[in-house]
Amino acid sequence: EKGLRILDKGFLNTAVIRSRITYIDGEAGVLRYRGYPIEQLAQKSSHLESAYLLIYGSLPTRDQFKHFESEILRHGVMHSDAEEFFRSFRYDAHPMSMLTSAFAMLGSLYGEANPSLQGQRLYTNGDKQSLATMDRQIYRLIGKATTLAAMAYRVRQGREFVTPPTGLSYTGSFLYQMDHIGEEDYKPNPVLEKALDVLFLIHADHELNASCTTVLQTGSSLVDPYSAIAAGCASLYGPLHGGANEAVIRMLISIGKPENVPAFIEAVKKKEKTLSGFGHRVYKTSDPRSFIVRKTADEVFKVTGRDELLETAMALHDAAMKDEYFVKRKLAPNVDFCGLIYRAMGFPLDFFPVLFAVPRVVGWLAHWRQMMLQEGGVKIWRPRQVYIGSTKRDYVPVDERV
């Protein structure tokens, strides 16, 4: 094999792209969207306003936001064929498998699945028409993410689908489609709507995590963005990544009472159990989002009442944070303890990764658009390997094999 190749398992030390979108400092526990600290955005911005910032690079003027929001809300309506698609799932299908499939279905539904290379070149050359094409696909995917999620939820409940309402916010419209049971003047609880919007905002992007890398790897072949987003959704589903918020709650339920925490910690140290919600490839101190999750949880629990698992979660947090095993490995809480909030808000357990995927569509699209418009055009991502298999050998007829 010509040339030495460095094997970088899990891409621990590999950068594949230059980006202006999100900055993380894992040692200092810093997260910024286009330079704005996540703490300021969580306090002062909204999920959709931060979505505009992530995708287009600056905070929107009032008119820019009005257009962006109205386009996204307009695209929330689903083609009626989507209803048959969702009805084909069993009531107990995992909502992430429904959502992953639904994103891929969107391309065909809107006649934009994998257009010819000529078609793709059209929107990678950055002229007015190509920018407008990408904008429409971005509005469609963000607008439909909440509707598709709500449709998956209604399949689970065996209830009819609900058309997105008018006059509510993006997050409010999502809650309406989840909870609507017929009363016309439904308004989501403002504290819960604000809490979910903050959680959407802090989940919107996180630079080149596994699912974002998957979207870019897939998008680099110039496939349509719906298929690339579906691939990212599949990657996010795993328990090491977005599926961890569901795994955290299953872990807390299995531990049960706080007095069972020491035995669980010992099992983790013997590698018999994994401590979901802890550890991160980049953060070697607490994930800055975990402080925002804690603050949001306090707000929500004032409305919903405290969750009995909270005591166990706090006992686990305190035990792990002072145990040498975790301190030495720099394992601190990550964003995925937010499952306690989703549980308090009444979402089904296996729906939690969906609440991660819906906002993360924004970050995936921001990076996808950046790659489509990058200097020098799009190059397909095709890494190499270090080959350690057999040297050359000749075919052996079956009767001579032992």
Q: Please tell me the distance from the alpha carbon of residue 57 to that of residue 51, in angstroms, as a whole number.
A: 10
Task: Kindly tell me which of 149 and 331 has the beta carbon lying closer to ligand SDX.
Answer: 331
Quick one: which segment of 56-64, 109-117, 234-242, 290-298 binds ligand SDX (CB under 6 A)? Answer: 234-242
Task: Kindly tell me which of 137 and 211 has the beta carbon lying closer to ligand SDX.
Answer: 211
**Which residues, numbered 50-69, are part of the site for ligand SDX (CB under 6 A)?**
none
Quick one: which segment of 270-278, 294-302, 372-380, 383-391 binds ligand SDX (CB under 6 A)? Answer: 270-278
- Helical ranges in 256-379 per DSSP H: 261-269, 288-304, 309-321, 324-328, 339-344, 352-372
Q: Please tell me the distance from the alpha carbon of residue 267 to that of residue 214, in angstroms, as a whole number.
A: 33
Quick one: which segment of 129-137, 138-146, 303-311, 332-340 binds ligand SDX (CB under 6 A)? Answer: 332-340
Q: Please tell me the distance from the alpha carbon of residue 160 to that of residue 154, in angstroms, as a whole number.
A: 7
Candidates 3, 6, 7, 10: give the one binding ligand SDX (CB under 6 A).
Answer: 10
**Minimum CB–partner distance for residue 147 and ligand SDX (Å):** 23
Candidates 47, 94, 156, 206: give the one binding ligand SDX (CB under 6 A).
Answer: 206
How many C-alpha atoms does 283 have within 13 Å on its Cβ side? Answer: 21
Candidates 274, 285, 286, 374: give the one binding ligand SDX (CB under 6 A).
Answer: 274
**Minimum CB–partner distance for residue 343 and ligand SDX (Å):** 16
Rounded to a whole number of angstroms, the CA Rg of the chain reads 22
Q: Please tell me the distance from the alpha carbon of residue 59 to that of residue 56, in angstroms, as a whole number.
A: 8
Task: Kindly tell me which of 220 and 276 has the beta carbon lying closer to ligand SDX.
Answer: 276
Task: Kindly tell me which of 225 and 243 has the beta carbon lying closer to ligand SDX.
Answer: 243
CA 363 to chain centre: 8
Candidates 168, 231, 268, 338: give the one binding ligand SDX (CB under 6 A).
Answer: 268
Candidates 163, 259, 329, 377: give the one binding ligand SDX (CB under 6 A).
Answer: 329
Helix (H) or strand (E) holding 363: helix 352-372
Assess whether 79 carries a catalytic annotation.
no
Exactly one of 307, 336, 350, 367 is catalytic; name it.
336
Token digits for 402? 């032992």
Assess whether 180 carries a catalytic annotation.
no
Assess whether 75 carries a catalytic annotation.
no
| Residue 241 interacting with ligand SDX (CB under 6 A) | yes
**Mapping DSSP to helix (H, G, I), strand (E, B) and coil, where does residue 180 land?**
coil
**Minimum CB–partner distance for residue 154 and ligand SDX (Å):** 27
Transcribe 104-152 into DSSP letters. HHHHHHTT-SS--HHHHHHHHS--HHHHHHHHHHHHHHHHHHHHHHHHH
**Which residues, numbered 288-327, are part of the site for ligand SDX (CB under 6 A)?**
none
Exactly one of 280, 287, 307, 350 is catalytic; name it.
280
Q: Which residue is nearest to ligand SDX (CB)?
A: 279
**Residue (of 210, 204, 203) closest to 12 by Cα position:** 210
CA–CA distances in Å: residue 293 to residues 136, 190, 196, 219:
32, 17, 10, 32
Q: Which residues of 377-392 are buried (b: 16+ CB within 10 A; e: fewer)?
A: ebeeeeeeeeeeeeee
Token digits for 234? 């599949």
**Which residues, numbered 276-295, are part of the site for ligand SDX (CB under 6 A)?**
276-282
Exactly one of 25, 135, 179, 241 is catalytic; name it.
241
- Per CB under 6 A, residues contacting ligand SDX are 10, 206, 209, 240-242, 244, 268, 274-282, 329, 331, 334-336
Catalytic residue positions, numbered? 241, 280, 336
